[in-house]
Amino acid sequence: MKQLRRVIRNVPPHWVGDGFPVRSLFSYGRGNAFDPFLLLDYAGPLAFEPAPAPRGVEEHPHRGFETVTIVYQGELEHRDSSGSHGTIGAGDVQWMTAASGVVHEEFHSERFTREGGTLEMVQLWVNLPSRDKRAAPGYQSLLDADIPRVPIADGSGTVRVIAGDFQGTSGAARTFTPINAWDITLDASRQVELPLPEGHTSLIVVQSGSVELDVTRVSAVEVAELSREGQRASLRTESPSRLLVLTGAPIGEPIAGHGPFVMNTPDEIQEAIRDYRQGRLGRLS
């Protein structure tokens, strides 16, 4: 059985651009403790009034990893230098592989800007092993309807399998290394055991409600880190709850990071900065 190692809580909010009020629940700047996961931003929920122009984050680069954006409420538009463009709404996922480098922007969609509404989303950064950091960029637009749902055996809830595998059901996303990303909804007052791989970094993000792990309460917008040892996690819900469960096989390589670039050495970071300034990561047309 996996054991609770720590709970990350009381993270202060800040703004990313003018469209994303986020709490950075963890980031690689504090060390690579959550290998292969580099960063987790939880945005909202926050109500936005209608606006004359889209709010968001203007053109910026990435190299060396993947960004995973999961929208729970609201609607976003994405555009990048590889030619990919997409709109994702409630339940949809955007899985962007920056790898050798992209320039992109992300804003509230035209409709969300015009009508207003509540925004709630998660953005996760997933590291790539050194062999894949120079791969061609890629983009997966995963619609809610294409993401498999699996009922938990005792009827206590449902698992939406974004990536990886849950009890024989494969997720919608393609990944470079072994990763599970599950959206889980649970009823109140249920005892649940989740199968989690031996040796994986294992995180439970409570998005709403609360759960009890090893007699410790973990509440909304808090993260429980579990031990890598063990193959199951036992939790009890205190109220109807929504969780994002993340597990990943550690890559085990050194990282060097600077803002939107995560590589293996400081020299590679300097190269990424030069390449961006010289337009080698592409441009938005």
Given this model, what pLDDT does residue 29 score?
Answer: 81
Helix (H, G, I), strand (E, B) or coil at 57: strand
The predicted-structure confidence for 54-68, as pLDDT tens digits, reads as follows 999 999 999 999 999
Average pLDDT over every residue of 97-102: 96
Put the strands of the sheet holding 179-186 in their side by side order: 4-8, 222-226, 201-208, 241-248, 179-186, 157-163, 149-151
- pTM, full prediction: 0.95
Average pLDDT over every residue of 30-45: 93
**Dist CA 237 CA 170 (whole Å):** 26
Please give the single-letter amino acid code of residue 235.
Answer: L
